[in-house]
Structures are given as structure tokens and as C-alpha cells.
């Protein structure tokens, strides 16, 4: 008798308040290994807050989060060790301007994993090669386009060999012509079997690449399903209104 594998991410009943404002209202999210889950919804729906709770950049007020079998909210959990399993890519690239692309990637390897300089340099070179920047690794951030800087940020995350990658609006700070290179890297990670949770407005990418789409509004998860159903036959009125609005643009 086959058993369903336990999810690599399992968040239950997440609440997050900022003062009197409830930004997450009892949200559940499960993600299977190798799955690409896309979270969509209007601004202020709680999408980025949910993502930031998944590696405890935000502390939930209530609920539970397991990542790769580790209960993140337990006081016994070494959160820094747990975070090594969770790569995160932000809207802003957060690169050190005085360091080359390779040095930016090496820094995390040396500080987080304690790698020696030669080994860190080799791993950083492989990671940059993987995101198509093998010929740019000795360039400084100011010598790179925004899309290239974001790919350095992705290389920095994947160099640590995380079990899960979280992407929070990874293309929203980029000029339109630079978006494609970042999405191509994400497609390749997907083909390599990386588990990914993505908050983004790139709906064409969601339709083409996601295994599952989650729609959020007003701090609640209102609907989830395969992209064809969420975009083609949404069940909830709020989802229908959102899809109609994005289809007009």
C-alpha cells in the first residue's frame, strides 16, 4: 500500500498581526518535494508576509511551520541551522557593492557553512555558471545589469544547497527586458527538481511553470489548484475578479 510522502513545507494555522491589523488569518500551506507553488493575489493580501514567515524573517503570532521535518517555531530549533535548508531571493538584490559576484556568493559559503576560501571559490564559480554568469564572476555589482545582479543573488542562495527556495517578487525591481533571464534560471531550477514557492506578478510564468497556484486575499487563502483551473475556471468570486483584472492588462 503506497503512502503519500509528507510535505517538505507544512504550515498550519498561521496568524500574523501588526498592531491591530491581522495580515495572515489562519493560513495553511503544504508544499510537496520538487513542487513549484505560485502565490498570487492583490497587493496587501499577505503573500510576502506568508513567505517571510516560512523562514522566520517574520515571527508568526500563532500556528506551526515544519520545513524538511524541522518544527521552525519550536524554541529548541536552531533557526540558523534550519535556515540553511531554505534559500530566499528578494525583490532587492542585497549584494555587497565592494565585492565581485564570486566574492558575494563566497561570503555566505564561508560564514554560514564554514567553507575554506579555495572550496568556497570553486562552489561559487559553479553556482554562477549555473545561472549563466560564468563569464561575469569577477565583475562588481555596478558592472552588472539588474537582471544579472538578481541572478547573482539566486546563485548565492543555491550555492548553499537548500532543500527549498522561496522567491519574493524576484522580478518586480527589473526592467521588462531583463525579466526573461531571471525566469529562465527559475525554469532551470524547476527542471533540476528544486522545491520552490514563488510570490510574483509574472502570471504567464505561473500559467506555464507552476504545479499549483494559491490565491490569497485579505490575509486568507481563498483558493488553490492547478494553473489551468485557477486561471481558466476560478471558483471564488475574489479570484474571478482578480483574474479578470490581470487579463485586461
pLDDT digits (tens, 9 = 90+) for 78-133: 888 888 899 999 988 889 999 999 999 999 899 888 999 999 999 999 999 999 99
Instruction: Give mean pLDDT, residues 44-73.
Output: 93
Please tell me the distance from the alpha carbon of residue 201 to that of residue 40, in angstroms, as a whole number: 7
Q: What percent of the chain has pLDDT over 90?
A: 76
Which grid coordinates are listed for 106?
Answer: 563566497
Lowest mean pLDDT among 28-37, 160-169, 174-183: 174-183
Q: What percent of the chain has pLDDT over 70?
A: 98
For residue 22, what are the β-bridge partners? 17
Q: Is residue 3 scored above 80 in pLDDT?
A: no
pLDDT at 2: 46
A 10 A CB-CB count for 190 gives 19
Chain-centre distance for alpha carbon 223: 20
Tell me the whole-structure pTM to 2 decimals.
0.93
**The total number of residues written for the chain in this structure:** 249
Instruction: Give mean pLDDT, residues 151-159.
Output: 94
- The DSSP result for 169-224, as a single string, is STTTTS-HHHHHHHHHHHHHHHHTT-EEEEE-S-HHHHHHH-SEEEEEETTEEEEE
Task: Give the pLDDT confidence of 175-187 residue by residue, as tens digits.
Answer: 888 888 999 999 8
Please tell me the distance from the alpha carbon of residue 170 to that of residue 147, in angstroms, as a whole number: 10
Q: Is residue 31 scored above 80 in pLDDT?
A: yes
Please tell me the distance from the alpha carbon of residue 34 to that of residue 195, in angstroms, as a whole number: 4
Q: Is residue 208 scored above 80 in pLDDT?
A: yes
User: Do 215 and 185 form a contact (C-beta atoms < 8 A)?
Assistant: no
**For the CA atoms of the chain, what is the radius of gyration?**
18
Comparing CA positions, the residue from 225, 248, 237, 176 lying closest to residue 39 is 225
pLDDT at 9: 96
pLDDT at 47: 96
Amino acid at each position: 500500500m503506497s503512502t503519500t510522502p509528507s510535505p517538505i513545507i507544512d504550515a498550519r494555522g498561521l496568524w500574523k498581526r501588526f498592531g491591530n491589523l491581522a495580515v495572515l488569518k489562519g493560513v495553511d500551506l503544504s508544499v510537496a518535494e520538487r513542487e513549484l507553488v505560485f502565490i498570487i493575489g492583490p497587493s496587501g493580501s499577505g503573500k510576502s508576509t506568508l513567505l517571510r514567515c516560512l523562514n522566520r524573517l517574520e515571527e508568526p503570532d500563532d500556528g506551526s511551520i515544519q520545513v524538511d521535518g524541522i518544527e521552525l517555531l519550536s524554541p529548541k530549533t536552531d533557526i540558523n541551522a534550519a535556515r540553511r535548508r531554505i534559500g530566499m531571493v528578494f525583490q532587492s538584490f542585497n549584494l555587497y557593492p565592494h565585492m565581485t559576484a564570486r566574492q558575494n556568493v563566497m561570503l555566505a559559503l564561508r560564514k554560514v557553512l564554514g567553507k575554506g576560501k579555495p572550496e568556497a571559490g570553486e562552489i561559487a564559480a559553479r553556482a554562477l555558471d549555473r545561472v549563466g554568469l560564468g563569464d561575469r564572476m569577477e565583475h562588481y555589482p555596478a558592472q552588472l545589469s539588474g537582471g544579472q545582479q538578481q541572478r547573482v543573488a539566486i546563485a548565492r542562495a543555491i550555492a548553499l544547497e537548500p532543500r527549498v527556495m522561496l522567491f519574493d517578487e524576484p522580478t518586480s525591481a527589473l526592467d521588462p527586458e531583463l525579466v526573461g533571464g531571471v525566469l529562465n534560471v527559475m525554469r532551470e531550477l524547476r527542471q533540476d527538481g528544486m522545491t520552490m514557492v514563488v510570490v510574483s506578478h509574472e502570471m504567464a510564468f505561473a500559467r506555464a511553470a507552476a504545479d499549483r497556484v494559491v490565491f490569497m486575499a485579505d490575509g486568507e487563502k481563498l483558493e488553490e489548484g492547478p494553473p489551468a483551473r485557477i486561471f481558466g475556471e476560478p471558483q471564488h468570486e475574489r479570484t474571478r475578479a482578480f483574474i479578470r483584472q490581470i487579463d485586461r492588462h
